[in-house]
Amino acid sequence: MNTTVTPLLTTSGDRPDAAPALSLRDVVLEYPDGERGTLRALDRVSLDLYPGVYTAMTGPSGSGKSSLLAVAAGLISPTSGQVVVNGQDLTALPKALRTAMRGTSIGVIFQQPNLIPSLTAREQLELTVHLDRSAGRSAKRDARVRAAELLEKVDLGAAMDKRPHQLSGGQRQRVNIARALMAKPALLLVDEPTSALDQERSAAVVELLGELTREEGAATLMVTHDVEFMDAVDRTLVMVDGRLQ
Ligand SMILES: Nc1ncnc2c1ncn2[C@@H]1O[C@H](COP(=O)(O)OP(=O)(O)OP(=O)(O)O)[C@@H](O)[C@H]1O
């Protein structure tokens, strides 16, 4: 069932003429916290993210950034509030459908690339389609073309047939980024993509994510501590004590 929510007031990075790819409304997330009862990691967070807009989220350690990504990805259900991705209220979906959305409407990039050692760069991207028993020959052919296109976009055209151990850290992270974009997700969630990279490679990855956000039209939310790269983003959010400032 599709859900519509009233857009939030416009801020500089928003595109209110398009439907948001992600809407959070009054999202509260509480973790059990021993004898003290509960710890409130997200405190009534509301947010709209629009297609083609590159947003960075910063904030002190423990302020709730990863929790927000996990809720937006449907990995954790909030204690209360609404999480709407591409018109679908994740909180109303059974777990299996939330998981399916992570392969289609939602792309997730974590700190470590987590590639499969035995597969080439191209095969990493094609894997999901090959594991899908309902995918026919034409879906597999399309996936092969899309994988090659994306690897060209992330400047790995010449390294498509290389396996992870033959790639540098920056190249592995670029394979990871290309893989997350395979299904043309409306929402791209990125958790500290540069934590394992040096400064030069970090800047290249942050810029690349911006180019891909615009070209692919995804709404990208990147958690980062690299405040020096903020020029590359369209919008910055700051999380403090579970609240967006
Ligand atoms: N699974 C969990 N169980 C209990 N408490 C948790 C759990 N995960 C996170 N927390 C707590 O929730 C709060 C927010 O954590 P979160 O990881 O979202 O912060 P963060 O801003 O991503 O931090 P960092 O920048 O260090 O990664 C912290 O107080 C943390 O200790």
pLDDT tens across 47-90, in order? Answer: 999 999 999 999 999 999 999 999 999 999 999 999 999 999 99
Q: What is the pLDDT of residue 135?
A: 77
Q: Under a CB-based contact definition with an 8 Å cutoff, are residues 189 and 111 in contact?
A: no
Q: How far is the CA of 32 from the centre of ligand 1 (A)?
A: 12
Nearest atom of ligand 1 to the alpha carbon of 225: 25
Residue 224 in contact with ligand 1 by CB distance below 6 A: no
Nearest to 123 by CA among 160, 165, 170: 160
Nearest CA to ligand 1 atom 16: 64
Q: Under a CB-based contact definition with an 8 Å cutoff, are residues 221 and 48 in contact?
A: no
Q: How far is the CA of 24 from the centre of ligand 1 (A)?
A: 19
Alpha helices of 108-168 — where are they, by DSSP H?
A: 121-131, 137-153
The CATH architecture one would assign to domain 22-244 is: 3-Layer(aba) Sandwich (3.40)
Q: Residue 15 has what DSSP assignment?
A: -
What residue segments make up the domains of the chain, in order of their start?
A: 22-244
pLDDT tens across 93-141, in order? Answer: 888 888 888 878 999 998 888 899 999 999 999 998 887 778 788 888 9
Residue 62 in contact with ligand 1 by CB distance below 6 A: yes
The whole model's pTM is what? 0.90
Q: How far is the CA of 34 from the centre of ligand 1 (A)?
A: 15
Q: Hey, what long-range contacts does 69-72 have (CB within 8 A, 24 or more apart)?
A: 69/108, 69/189, 69/191, 69/221, 69/223, 71/24, 71/27, 71/29, 71/42, 72/22, 72/24, 72/106, 72/187, 72/189, 72/221
Give the Cα separation of 172 and 90 in Å (integer): 30
Q: Residue 52 has what DSSP assignment?
A: T
ipTM of the complex in this document: 0.97
